[in-house]
Structure 1
């Protein structure tokens, strides 16, 4: 077994700041604009330029972004949203909050992402949206069923919380990113929506502002305002936008670090019979490094006992008490859920740290009775 773990692998993930974020945040605080203001406007434009899209709508979190995007495409009582069970609960709660039903489906065993055939088989007359999760940063390609979904008036809303910087797949999807503390790009908290059309962008901006049609700047200059429709308090604060702008300027550094880490893990674990690496594909900026192993719980505890920050992302939602009403058999998801293990992965690590962590995993497995992993 390797010696004591490096400090960087004692946690599964942690925020990564470059330094100037502190100054940028302090300046935003001094400016006194704590709602959506000039920093948030600039951040939206810079994000749109970076992503090469016409528009971006900044929001308070990816959970808020998913909620607004689903509501904008008509998700509500009496409708269903097709969604994988293998995701964080933040993907599912917006569906339930809107009064709709999550229709859980299985994922592919070696990517933990949904595939077109599973979506096609899950469609019902009540289906209003498909909510693919870009697990680990891997793009999800539903282009082979795009025409079918359009004919059925079914919208695609991508949960890309783990996929900022990954190559966007073609097709008419609304994409939601997270800028939470440990994401590829952090604003400390926050998120953004890439809308499909100008009309959708306008609707989302109104909805994130409690349904008020005027901007915050315009409201304070007049004696009244109009609440046109439903909405929530979902704007991104200027303080967080200032942090995000610094992060965006240096994003390539983080992307390169994450790719180098993932490659180091992949090389160290390649050819091992008792470890299956969840492949994020060539178009991803990796968010994490996840493997499938037998006897996962024992290995998880052994690694934690040595101070190595492994984790499990995530327990499947169709087996959670909050979503029991919509439970259905998902054999692939349930088999994977018993085997997945997240290895330490964040930009403060080096490739040598990743190789150290991989060696610790292999030596722990050698001390643990095991059978081949990765079977659906």
Structure 2
């Protein structure tokens, strides 16, 4: 048996008629940039998350970038975040001329460690970007307290966690701004790039709308220096078709995770994902820790099981961020888990047979 890491064609086959009709609707309308499809998606996502405003943009990276731009982040500022995340989280800080300041991660959740955030705050700190990694919410309350105490903005990186909840509140409804990615492999994925910024602040929402359209509210009248970061109507139509299914898909991911958990629970040689009390995980990735990761991964590949490594090199050790002056040993938890993380197949269309096969092959690969 061969089990892929993800198979987007399976999802399309389930929704084929709805997706095809949505695409035909857009093509028949002649409206491809913005318009009613994007506006409707913005309203539907805002309602789903429990926020007042949602602003569609071209990608999850742009969601982060424009959020910081809207907050006025620039040269001389510092933004605190995690070194164990996709590069975009810190990349956008650097692109604005500000300095990414890294804080080590919690060894259980792999998210930023709230107990280490405050010591990284300086007079130059302007914002914190907590990342809800792999579908696991960040331990939010202590970070919010720090931000309030120091007058800092909070920008949620929720690219991997739409539908996850922290104490009954959905992620991307917690901070000043929330950032979503609709990259095709995400729990809610488009058929190309796409992203969204969420907020309860009307002024920030309006500024984001202006920034995403070359700094203009009316055509050829440019109030700000902005960019071209508009979500296109075809992607919005696909996402509107998928959005009503997201809770069911996330529940299926939790079912798959529970099967993996049950099969692996008695093994000392593997650490399964931790779920914080009062939180709902949506398992964008089911990522375990194993020693001899590359050897185990090779055995799984030989058995037909696809896996991935998220992420092999923490950001503070990446060449792109060498100028920040960090060195090996600065963030020992992030460094350790980067050598042990292994992501198993998890997507809603996996069959129970495939899930059991993956779990059993992992047990064999571990020599248990």
- TM value normalised by structure 2: 0.91
| Cα distance in structure 2, aligned partners of 1:324 and 1:113 | 22
CA contact (8 A) 1:143 1:171 kept: no
What is aligned with 1:178?
181
| Cα distance in structure 2, aligned partners of 1:27 and 1:239 | 9
What is aligned with 2:233?
238
What is aligned with 1:335?
336
What is aligned with 1:373?
none
**3-state SS of paired residue (1:33):** coil
**3-state SS of paired residue (2:222):** coil
| Cα distance in structure 2, aligned partners of 1:141 and 1:110 | 11
CA contact (8 A) 1:115 1:142 kept: no
**3-state SS of paired residue (2:53):** coil
What is aligned with 1:93?
91
**3-state SS of paired residue (1:273):** coil
| Cα distance in structure 2, aligned partners of 1:239 and 1:36 | 9
Offset at residue 151 of structure 1 (A): 4.0
What is aligned with 1:313?
310
What is aligned with 2:114?
116
Alignment of 1:212-231 (within 5 A): 212-214=216-218, 219=219, 225-231=220-226
| Cα distance in structure 1, aligned partners of 2:320 and 2:223 | 33
Structure 1: which 4+ aligned runs deviate by more than 3 Å?
169-173
2:160 equivalent to 1:162:
yes
2:214 maps to which of 193, 197, 210: 210
User: Can you give the 5+ residue segments of structure 1 that lack an aligned partner in the other structure?
Assistant: 220-224, 368-376
1:257 maps to which of 249, 252, 257: 252
What is aligned with 1:50?
48
| Cα distance in structure 1, aligned partners of 2:181 and 2:104 | 24
What is aligned with 2:142?
144
**3-state SS of paired residue (1:185):** coil
| Cα distance in structure 1, aligned partners of 2:122 and 2:304 | 47
Offset at residue 133 of structure 1 (A): 0.9
CA contact (8 A) 2:51 2:199 kept: no
Offset at residue 35 of structure 1 (A): 0.8
CA contact (8 A) 2:103 2:113 kept: no
What is aligned with 2:198?
194
The answer to which of 16-25 and 112-121 deviates more is: 16-25
- TM value normalised by structure 1: 0.89
What is aligned with 1:370?
none
| Cα distance in structure 2, aligned partners of 1:63 and 1:174 | 14
| Cα distance in structure 2, aligned partners of 1:250 and 1:145 | 31
Offset at residue 145 of structure 1 (A): 4.1
User: Can you give the 5+ residue segments of structure 2 that lack an aligned partner in the other structure?
Assistant: none
| Cα distance in structure 2, aligned partners of 1:55 and 1:135 | 23
The answer to which of 201-210 and 249-258 deviates more is: 249-258
Q: Which has the higher contact order (CA 8 A, sep 6+)?
A: 1
What is aligned with 1:13?
6
2:292 maps to which of 289, 292, 295: 295
CA 1:250–1:148 in 2, change beyond 3 Å: closer, same or farther?
closer
**3-state SS of paired residue (2:334):** helix
What is aligned with 1:29?
27
| Cα distance in structure 1, aligned partners of 2:303 and 2:342 | 16
CA contact (8 A) 2:52 2:200 kept: no
**3-state SS of paired residue (1:304):** helix
CA 1:13–1:292 in 2, change beyond 3 Å: closer, same or farther?
same
CA contact (8 A) 2:78 2:100 kept: yes
**3-state SS of paired residue (2:185):** coil
CA 1:22–1:279 in 2, change beyond 3 Å: closer, same or farther?
farther
**3-state SS of paired residue (1:366):** coil
Offset at residue 253 of structure 1 (A): 2.5
RMSD over equivalenced CA pairs, Å: 1.7
CA contact (8 A) 2:54 2:198 kept: yes
| Cα distance in structure 1, aligned partners of 2:260 and 2:119 | 35
Offset at residue 199 of structure 1 (A): 0.7
What is aligned with 1:278?
273
| Cα distance in structure 2, aligned partners of 1:101 and 1:207 | 22
